[in-house]
Amino acid sequence: MALILSIESATDHCSVCVSEKEEVLAYKAAEEKFQHGQQLTLFIQSVLKSAQLSLKDMDAIAISGGPGSYTALRIGTATAKGICFALDKPLIAIPSLQALALQAARLKPDAKHFCSMIDARRMEVYTATYDYLLDEKEVAKALIVTADAFDHLEGDIVFCGNGAEKCKTVLQKPNSHFLTFGCDARYLAPLAFKAFQGSKFEHLAYYAPFYLKPPNITTPKKRL
């Protein structure tokens, strides 16, 4: 038996689930945007209560490892690492873009390519491309989407994630499909179980999320 608590905090809506192997036992998601700091710990308590389990029962803690929102990822990571340090639990980090590809693959199982996209403002996205086995074919990068950005990919391609919708008008590539949804803890669970089976754990002291880009920090204007 492998009980895993998964914490999704890469983008604007956070979510949490408890799973046994690949089966989700309890799940909770935010209805409002950017409530990570206020709701994550409450969600954890809620799903554990629903599953009639405690943090001590967990075999591992999984988190969305990025890319995504700088602040949101930091909150999720701090929460997960705190639990792991306190209870001596292993930490699993799942690429946010791979979890999106898994969600898309379950909706469009016959597609050849799954291009995950997380909105990074304007026409920029954080993106990576996976095949039907969820193996990474193009590494994660920050990309300003242009009409020919994916012309090198042949066959059906699914653009998925919260960055996919805004790309519809730009990407007119034949055999393209667009699935707009957010990151979801329920799709961390199967990937986390696979990582758990392979003992792919993070070093608690040194682990940091994969931000991909530095935070967008502006200098306040000087007052006269």
* Segment 29-46, tens digit of pLDDT: 998 888 898 899 999 999
pLDDT, tens digit, 9 for 90 and up, residues 119-177: 998 899 999 999 999 999 999 999 999 999 999 999 999 999 999 999 998 998 889 99
pLDDT, tens digit, 9 for 90 and up, residues 184-216: 999 999 999 999 999 999 999 999 999 987 765
AA letter at 34: F
Cα 191 to Cα 197: distance, rounded to the nearest angstrom:
10
Is residue 35 domain-shared with residue 64, that is, in the same domain? yes
Give the range of the structural domain holding residue 37, as residue numbers without chain letter: 3-95+183-197
**Is there a contact between 84 and 61 (Cβ–Cβ < 8 Å)?**
yes
Residue keyed to tokens 């590539």: 173
Residue 164's pLDDT is 95
pLDDT exceeds 90 at position 18: yes
| E strand segments, the chain | 3-8, 15-20, 23-29, 60-64, 91-94, 113-119, 124-131, 136-144, 157-160, 176-179
Q: How much is the mean pLDDT over the chain?
A: 93
**Is there a contact between 209 and 73 (Cβ–Cβ < 8 Å)?**
yes
Residue 121's pLDDT is 86
> Which among 130, 187, 117, 188 has a CA at the least distance from the CA of 159?
117
Cα 157 to Cα 127: distance, rounded to the nearest angstrom:
13
184 token code pair: 């979801």
Is residue 83 domain-shared with residue 104, that is, in the same domain? no
Cα 60 to Cα 57: distance, rounded to the nearest angstrom:
9
- Helix residue spans in 52-208 (DSSP H): 70-87, 96-107, 189-197
Percent of the chain with pLDDT over 70: 96
Is residue 26 domain-shared with residue 90, that is, in the same domain? yes
Is residue 72 domain-shared with residue 147, that is, in the same domain? no
Percent of the chain with pLDDT over 90: 86
Is residue 116 domain-shared with residue 167, that is, in the same domain? yes
Is residue 81 domain-shared with residue 8, that is, in the same domain? yes
pLDDT exceeds 60 at position 217: no
- The pLDDT-based confidence of 68 (bands split at 50, 70, 90) is very high
Q: Residue 123's domain is classified under what CATH number?
A: 3.30.420.40
Is residue 69 domain-shared with residue 102, that is, in the same domain? no
Residue 218's pLDDT is 53
Domain count for the chain, please give it.
2
pLDDT, tens digit, 9 for 90 and up, residues 80-96: 999 999 999 999 999 99
Residue 96's pLDDT is 97
Is residue 89 domain-shared with residue 131, that is, in the same domain? no
- Helix residue spans in the chain (DSSP H): 36-51, 70-87, 96-107, 189-197
Q: In this structure, is residue 171 part of a structural domain?
A: yes
